[in-house]
């Protein structure tokens, strides 16, 4: 499903350039649950952004669903986001002006899903995450863990093939973190959703099926 071949990322610095990622070869199969680990500044987020088509690699080839995607128009990229990719962020990144229900519903709106189907999809997720009672609240009225649950629900609502999560539990205390990790594991096992997460915690990494370690932009 994901195949990186000699991927590198560098930024201009002074007269030269500074490499953040070097010669990354990586293959992720459908149904895997991969954790990316490594010290701060080692390039984890950058790698995840490249995988999630938010950033373009400077060198190398990236095939997503067997298609080369390293140089894609913004429109095509948005298409892929709409249909196949879900994101979960450390800072949740919910839309403050929308209620829980509306936040979850929005990806479906952009995808052009009909009203009745939207209703049932959102209702199903709310039910599954035990958030029915909270559906009309605004993000600021929720705890961090609850906000991240909404974040996960929003990443799932359009039934993506893969979820990219950058330190999804970084702002949560351990109980809440475990809850999210268990949820990820269940999604991976039962719904066959591919998951790629960045984490600093060895414990979180154990929920996954494979761990990739980065150091100074190199894959160990």
Partner 1 sequence: MIQNYLKIAFRNLLRNKVYTFIHVLGLGLGISAFVFILEYVSLEKSVNQFHTNVDRMYRLVNVATDGASWGEVEPGWAALAKERFPEIEDYCRFADGIASGVMQKAEGGESFKEESIGYVEGNFFEFFTFPLLKGSAEALKQPNVIFLSESTAAKYFGKTEAPGKTLLLHNQFGKTTFTVGGIYKDMTDLSDIRYDMVLSLETLKSPANTNGNDWVRLDNLDNQYINAFFLVREQANYQELEAKFNTLRNELSQENDGIVFRLQAATNIHLAPSLNDPLLTTGNVKYVYMLAGIALLILLIAWFNYINLSTANALKRANEVGVRKVIGATQAHLIGQFLGESLLTNGLGFCFALMLVGTLQPLFAELIGKQVSLQILGNTPFWMYGLGLLLAGSVLSGLYSAWILSRFKVIETLKGKRTSNSRGIWLRKGLVVGQFVISTSLILATIVIYSQLRHLQTGELGINTEQLLVVSGPQIGKDSTFATRSNAFVQTLAEQSFVQEYATSNVVPSRYYNFRTSGFTQPGSKPKDELKSYAFAVIGDRYLKTYGISIKAGRNFTPQETDVEWNNNSKVMLNERAVAELGFSSPEEAIQTKIKWDERYLEVIGVVADYHHTSLKNSIDPIIFYPQKSAVYYSIRLTPEGMGDKVAKLEKLYKTSFPGNPFDFFFMDENYQKAYYEEQQYGKLFTTASLLAVFIACLGLFGLATYTVESRTKEIGVRKVLGASVSSVVMLLSKDFLALVGVAILIASPVAAYFLNQWLQDFPYRIAMEWWIFVAAAGLALLIAFVTVGFQSVKAGLMNPVDSLRSE
Nearer to partner 1, 2 or 50 (CB): 50
218 is a contact residue toward partner 1 (CB under 8 A): no
**CA end-to-end span of the chain, whole Å?**
22
> If contact means CB under 5 to 8 A according to the sort of partner, which of ligand ATP, partner 1, Mg ion, none does residue 98 touch?
partner 1
Residue 135 Cβ vs Mg ion, minimum distance, rounded to whole Å? 31
Please identify, among the stretches 16-24, 98-106, 172-180, 197-205, the one whose residues bind partner 1 according to the rule CB under 8 A. Answer: 98-106
Binder among 35, 42, 45, 148 for Mg ion (CB under 5 A) = 45
In whole angstroms, how close is the CB of 25 to ligand ATP at the nearest point?
18
Q: What string of DSSP letters covers the chain?
A: -EEEEEEEEEEEETTEEEEEEEEEEEEE-TT-EEEEE-STTSSHHHHHHHHTTSS--SEEEEEETTEE-SS--HHHHHHHHHHHEEEE-TT----TTS-HHHHHHHHHHHHT--HHHHHHHHHHHHHHTT-GGGTTS-GGGS-HHHHHHHHHHHHHTT--SEEEEESTTTTS-HHHHHHHHHHHHHHHHHS--EEEEE-S-HHHHTTSSEEEEEETTEE-
Q: Does position 75 bind partner 1 by CB under 8 A?
A: yes
Taking CB atoms, the residue at the shortest distance from ligand ATP is 45
Candidates 11, 67, 95, 127; binder of partner 1 (CB under 8 A) is 95
Which partner in partner 1, Mg ion, ligand ATP, none is near 102 (CB below 5 to 8 A by kind)? partner 1
> Judged by CB under 8 A, which of 9, 44, 49, 121 binds partner 1?
49
97 touches partner 1 (CB under 8 A): yes
Contact pick of 9, 21, 33, 81 for partner 1 (by CB under 8 A): 81
Binding site residues, partner 1, CB under 8 A: 49, 54-55, 74-75, 78, 81-82, 87, 89, 93-98, 102, 106-107, 109-111, 154, 158
């Amino acid at each position: 499903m994901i195949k990186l071949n000699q991927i590198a990322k560098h930024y201009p610095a002074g007269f030269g350039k500074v490499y953040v990622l070097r010669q990354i070869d990586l293959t992720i199969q459908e149904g895997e649950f991969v954790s990316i680990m490594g010290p701060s500044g080692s390039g984890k987020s950058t790698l995840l952004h490249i995988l999630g088509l938010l950033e373009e690699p400077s060198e190398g080839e990236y095939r997503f669903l067997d298609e080369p995607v390293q140089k894609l128009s913004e429109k095509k990229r948005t298409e892929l986001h709409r249909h196949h990719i879900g994101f979960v962020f450390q800072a949740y990144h919910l839309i403050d002006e929308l209620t829980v229900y509306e936040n979850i519903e929005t990806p479906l709106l952009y995808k052009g899903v009909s009203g009745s189907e939207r209703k049932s999809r959102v209702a199903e997720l709310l039910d599954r995450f035990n958030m029915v009672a909270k559906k009309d609240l605004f993000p600021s009225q929720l705890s961090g863990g609850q906000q991240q649950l909404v974040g996960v629900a929003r990443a799932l609502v359009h039934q993506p093939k893969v979820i990219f999560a950058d330190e999804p539990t970084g702002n949560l205390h351990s109980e809440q973190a475990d809850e999210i990790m268990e949820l990820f594991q269940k999604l991976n096992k039962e719904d066959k959703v591919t998951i790629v997460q960045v984490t600093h915690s060895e414990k979180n990494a154990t929920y996954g099926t494979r761990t990739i370690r980065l150091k100074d932009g190199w894959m160990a």
